[in-house]
Chain A
Amino acid sequence: MMEAEDEVTDIQVQDLLGWYEQMFEIRLTEKAAYDLFMSGLVKGTTHLAAGHEAVAVGTSAALRPDDYVWATYRGHHHAMARGLSAQACLAELMSKSTGSCEGKGGSMHLTSASTNMMGSYAIIGSHLPMAAGSAWSALLRKSGQVSVAFFGDGATNIGAFHEAINLAAVWKLPVLFICENNLYMEYTPISSVTAVAHPAADRAHAYSLERIVIDGNDVVKVRDAVAESAERARNGQGPSIIECLTYRHYGHSRTDPAKYRPEGELEEWLIRDPLKIATERILAMGTAQTQIDEVEQRARLRVEEAIQAAKDAPLSPPSEAYTDVWADGGSRWRT
C-alpha cells in the first residue's frame, strides 16, 4: 500500500516518546469531545480526528516553531500539535469564555495564532490559497518560514486547491500541501468521485511537482517526508504536495455512524493505528513498557484536568457576540 521508501532516520527515543505523548493526548481529547457531546455538554457538531494523529504530530515535529499551519474543520489535532491546550480546545467546544476563540469559533475554527496556527477553515479548500499567501509573505519578508495547509481528500476536487497549487508552483512559494487521505469525502468513497487513484499526489505532475504518497499513520515517516519537503521549500525550491494515507476512527461528523464502510475495514485500520505503530517503534528501540505507561499517565492527567477546567469555566457572556468584528474590537457599522 505504501509507496515511499522507508527513510533511515536519526530518531532518538526521547523524541519518539514526546510525539507519542502528544498523539496520545490528542486521542484522549477526541474521546473526551465525543463523550462530552453525547452527554450534551458540546453542541453543534464536531469532526473528530482520532486516527489522524500521526499526520499532525509528525508534521509539527519537522517544522520550526514559527512556521505557519492552516487546518480544516477537522482540526483539533492540528491545533493541539501546534500548541493549543486540551483545555482551550474543549472549552471552545463547550462555548466557554476560556475557549481558544472565546466561543465564537467552535470545533470547526480552532486557532492558536500566538503559535502561528492560523486557524481552521470549514469551507473546503479555502485555506489553501491562504497558506500560499502566508508563504508569499514569508518570501517577501525573507523570514525563512514555511507554511503548511492540511486538507482532506475531498478538497482535491475543488477549484481553490488547483488555483492555490498552481500559484504556489509558479511563484515557488515555501508551502507544503499535506493531504490527509482517509478514503472518504464525508460519506462517499473518494475513489468513486475522483478521476485518479491518489487524489492529491496524482495531481502533482500537473503542477510540475513530485508525486509523494506516504504512510500517514507512522509518525516517523510523516516527520521524515515533511522535513525533506520543508527543507526544499526553505531553499527556494518551491512547494510540495504530500499525500498521507490514514483513516478516521469515527464517522465524518457527530451525526455520522459511518455505516457506509465495508465490514472489517475499520478493524483492518485499527491494526495500523498510529498509536500502535509508534508504540511498536518505541519498544523496538529497547524502551521499557513502563516508560510508555508513564507518558500515557501524564497525558491522561492533563486531559482529565482539562475536562474539569472546561466544565468549571463560565460560558462566554452575551456581550462577547458584539466583539471582534472589526480591528477596533467592536461591531459598530454605522454612525
Chain B
Amino acid sequence: MEDLITYRGAVAEGIAREMRRDPRVVCLGEDIGAAEGVFKTTTGLFAEFGPERIWDTPISEQAIVGAAMGAAMTGMRPVAEIMFSDFLACCWDFIANEMPKVRYMTGGQVTVPMVVRTANGGGLGFGAQHSQAVENWAFAVRGLVVAAPSNPADVIGLMVSAIRSEDPVIFFEHKALFASKGPQPPENHIVPLGQAHIARTGNDITLVGLAWSMPLVLEAAEQLAAAGVSAEVIDLRCLIPLDAATVLASVAKTSRILIVEENPFQGGWGGTLASIVADEGFYDLDAPVKRLAAACVPLPFAAHLEEEVLPSVAQAVSIARSMVEG
C-alpha cells in the first residue's frame, strides 16, 4: 500500500527535506520551535534541527518578515511563518513594499530568496480575523511569487521549489486542508513554480481551482460527469507566475470556463484570469467567462453563515450545467 501523508505533515516534510540538503535554510516564527506550530505544521523540525535553525520569535510580524529579508539578502534561505494569513496585514509594508521591490529598486544589486508561509482561508469557524482567503492580496503585489498548493504532494514539491527560488515567495497553506491526506511523494520530488496541473481531463468545460477550491471543483466535476457533462479541471497551484497558457489551451478545447475562487469576487484573482481568457481566448468561447467566488462580506463566524458566503459544489455544478446546457 502507498504511504500516505497529511497536508500538515507535508509542510514540515517539505521544509525538512530542504533543511537537510541546504544548511542555509533556517526557520523563524511564533511558536514554531518546541511547540511545533499552532497548526503542527513544523512538527519534528525543532527536534531534528535544534534552536540554531528553528527560531521562536516574539509576536512581531514586522520583525519576523524584516529579519527574514535581511538574512535572505546576506546569504541565508529563511522560511518565515506568519501564523494566520490575516496577520499579513500586520507586516504588509514588508510584503508589499520591501520584499518585492528591493531587487528592482536597487537595479538588481540584491536578491531576496525567502519564503513567507502562512495559514490561509476559511472553513474552520475562526471568524472574520482568522479565516480570510487573502491570496488576492499577494496577487496584487508586483514582485512576489504566490504559491497555494491543494494536496500534500504539491505542498512538498512547491515548498522545495519555493525555498530554492531566488525570488520572494508567499506560500499559502490552507487551514481546511491540513487534515487531508495524499500519497507521500518520493525524495527529490519537485513541483516547478508557475506550472498548473490538469487534475482531470474533459471536453465540455474547464473548471479552474486553487488550494481550497480544488476539492470543490473535483467533486463538481464528478457530479457533472454523472449528468453527462465532461469537465476538465485545472489546479493553478501558483498565482504568480500565472500559468495562463495551460488555461488557454484547455479553453481552446472546451470552449467554456468557470473559475472557482475562495477569495471574494471583489478583487479576486479570477478577475485577472478571466480578462486574459476573454481577451486571448475570445474566439474559442461558446459561453461567457464565469467566476464563482466568495461573497463580498467579511467571513462570518457561525458555520452555517460561513457556508453561506463561500462557494459550494452545488453552485459550481449549477453554473457549469447552465453554461453547457444553455
* Chain A residues at the B interface, C-beta cutoff of 8 Å: 68, 70, 99-106, 109, 111-114, 118-119, 121, 123, 126-138, 140-141, 147, 159-160, 163-164, 166-167, 170-171, 323-329, 332-335
Contacts and interface: CB of A to CB of B under 8 A. Distances in A.
B94 A129 contact: yes
Nearest to B100: A325
Interface of B: 26, 52, 55, 57-58, 60-63, 65-76, 78, 93-94, 97-98, 102-111, 113, 142-143, 165-167, 194, 240-246, 276
A68 B71 CA distance: 11
Contacts of A127: 66
A325 B105 CA distance: 9
B105 A327 contact: no
A133 B246 contact: no
Contacts, number: 170
Contacts of B58: 163, 166-167, 170
B13 to A, nearest CB: 23
Contacts of B143: 325-326
Contact of A333 (B109, B111, B242): B242
Contact of A160 (B62, B71, B73): B62
Given A126-B93, A140-B26, A147-B70, A334 B103 contact: no
A159 B62 contact: yes
A140 B70 contact: no
Contact of B76 (A104, A140, A170): A140
A131 B165 CA distance: 22
Contacts of B63: 129, 132, 160, 163-164, 166-167
Given A126-B93, A327-B166, A137 B71 contact: yes
B106 A119 contact: yes
A283 to B, nearest CB: 40
A163 B62 contact: yes
Given A101-B106, A129-B63, A325-B142, A140 B242 contact: no
B107 A101 contact: yes
Contacts of A118: 70, 73-74, 110
Contacts of A70: 70
B74 A138 contact: yes
Contacts of A134: 70-71, 73-74
B30 to A, nearest CB: 12
A140 to B, nearest CB: 6
Contacts of B97: 123, 126
9 contacts: A100-B107, A113-B106, A118-B110, A129-B62, A129-B65, A136-B71, A160-B93, A163-B66, A327-B165
A166 B58 CA distance: 8
Contact of B240 (A104, A141, A333): A333
Contact of B113 (A129, A159, A323, A327): A327
Contact of B75 (A130, A137, A332): A137
Given A100-B107, A119-B110, A323-B108, A130 B62 contact: no
B94 A335 contact: no
Contact of B194 (A100, A171, A335): A335
B66 A126 contact: yes
A126 B98 contact: yes
A324 B98 contact: no
Contacts of A147: 70
B104 A104 contact: yes
Nearest to B244: A334
Contacts of A104: 104-107
A103 B74 CA distance: 23
Given A102-B107, A123-B97, A167-B57, A132 B73 contact: no
Contact of B106 (A105, A130, A138, A160): A105
A126 B70 CA distance: 11
Contacts of B166: 326-328
A105 B106 CA distance: 6
Contacts of B61: 163
A84 to B, nearest CB: 11
